[in-house]
């Protein structure tokens, strides 16, 4: 993470309407966006996506209709099934998916690397009477959830800025999914010349299907969607099917991102008793990044 003095300059860049991710990428002299660049950029933008949703509700509704159709075609009807939006952001996609699928809110999970975005998301969901979804801070390359713990895992332009990290991110998403992994992401290979040039400039992901096939995953569908929010950032759906033989996951899906051990929800913290690592819960949002762990050998969970 950068020294705190840089955040003043970044705040000024954001106020001028300039691109924070470009600024940091150029400062770091990286070809791709670093994790810090993504986190800082999205944290400063927190709230802007909800504003965009309010001004474009019809478009978001149409996009969600496409997502829900693909999810239902995978045999998911809601009920007691679990679903995760990885990189949930401000829940502007999540809210419509939950509503249209008629999901039990306690079976809905979403994480993001930015706490501020999740705070906005939580407020947004509550204001729209979608309560009980389990949001938490997490990292795409070290998701704090157990293997095969979520029935349907999906993304919505989540992997997008992580060019160069396609393989480790796909491996983590696949690990967590029990039945299907569904990616709604910009598609470099199916895009035109102008869109590809834009994706190159922004450091977006490439060749997700090729990476999935190389990993041995069963890609059962890959095509462009009819409706997207930006023609220069065309969205495709890629559906990856996992084994039908996996039994239903029981219990809490949360696990320590460092030790991979089960986490206990103790209200004020999530606690890994075998390693004494604690993860704080801030305004109801568990902070489950590897570097957010606190050693607490003397911590005693309330009984």
Spell out the alpha helix ranges (H) of the chain: 5-15, 20-28, 35-45, 48-55, 57-73, 94-101, 115-127, 166-176, 193-202, 208-214
- pLDDT the model gives residue 244: 66
| Cα separation, 271 vs 255, whole angstroms | 9
Note whether 50-241 and 254-303 share their fold.
no
DSSP tag of 157: S
- pLDDT the model gives residue 266: 95
Task: Specify the fold of 50-241.
Answer: Rossmann fold (3.40.50)
Give the model confidence (pLDDT) of 168-178 as tens digits: 999 999 999 99
Q: Distances from the Cα of 59 to the Cαs of 52, 96, 145, 229, in angstroms? A: 10, 11, 32, 7
| Cα separation, 170 vs 159, whole angstroms | 9
Task: Specify the fold of 254-303.
Answer: N-terminal domain of TfIIb (2.20.25)
- pLDDT the model gives residue 35: 84
- pLDDT the model gives residue 36: 83
User: Coil, strand or helix: which one is 21?
Assistant: helix
- pLDDT the model gives residue 1: 54
**Domain boundaries defined on the chain:** 5-45, 50-241, 254-303
- pLDDT the model gives residue 80: 75
pLDDT by 10-residue block (mean), the chain, 303 residues: 71 80 76 82 91 95 96 84 96 95 87 98 95 95 97 96 96 97 96 93 93 97 94 95 79 95 95 96 98 96 78
- pLDDT the model gives residue 2: 58
| Cα separation, 236 vs 164, whole angstroms | 19
- pLDDT the model gives residue 301: 87
- pLDDT the model gives residue 245: 64
Query: Which stretch of DSSP H or E encloses residue 296?
Result: none
């Amino acid at each position: 993470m950068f020294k705190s003095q840089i955040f003043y300059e970044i705040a000024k860049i954001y106020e001028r309407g300039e691109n924070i991710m470009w600024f940091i990428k150029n400062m770091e002299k990286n070809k791709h966006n670093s994790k810090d660049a993504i986190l800082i950029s999205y944290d400063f933008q927190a709230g802007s996506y909800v504003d965009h949703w309010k001004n474009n509700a019809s478009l978001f509704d149409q996009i969600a209709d496409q997502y829900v159709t693909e999810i239902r075609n995978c045999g998911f009807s809601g009920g007691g099934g679990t679903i995760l939006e990885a990189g949930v952001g401000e829940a502007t996609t999540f809210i419509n998916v939950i509503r249209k699928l008629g999901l039990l809110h306690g079976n809905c999970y979403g994480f993001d690397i930015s706490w501020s975005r999740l705070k906005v998301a939580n407020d947004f969901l509550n204001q729209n009477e979608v309560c009980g979804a389990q949001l938490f801070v997490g990292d795409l390359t070290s998701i704090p959830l157990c293997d095969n713990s979520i029935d349907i895992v999906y993304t919505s332009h989540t992997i997008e800025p992580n060019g160069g990290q396609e393989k480790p991110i796909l491996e983590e998403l696949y690990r967590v999914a029990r039945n299907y992994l569904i990616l709604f992401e910009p598609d470099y290979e199916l895009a035109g010349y102008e869109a590809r040039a834009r994706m190159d400039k922004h450091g977006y992901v490439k060749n997700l299907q090729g990476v999935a096939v190389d990993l041995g995953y069963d890609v059962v569908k890959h095509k462009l969607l009819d409706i997207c929010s930006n023609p220069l950032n065309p969205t495709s759906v890629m559906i990856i099917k996992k084994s039908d033989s996996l039994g239903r996951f029981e219990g809490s899906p949360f696990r320590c991102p460092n030790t991979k051990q089960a986490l206990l929800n103790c209200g004020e913290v999530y606690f890994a008793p075998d390693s004494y690592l604690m993860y704080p819960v801030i305004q109801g949002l568990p902070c489950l990044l590897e570097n957010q762990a606190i050693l607490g050998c003397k911590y005693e969970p309330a009984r």
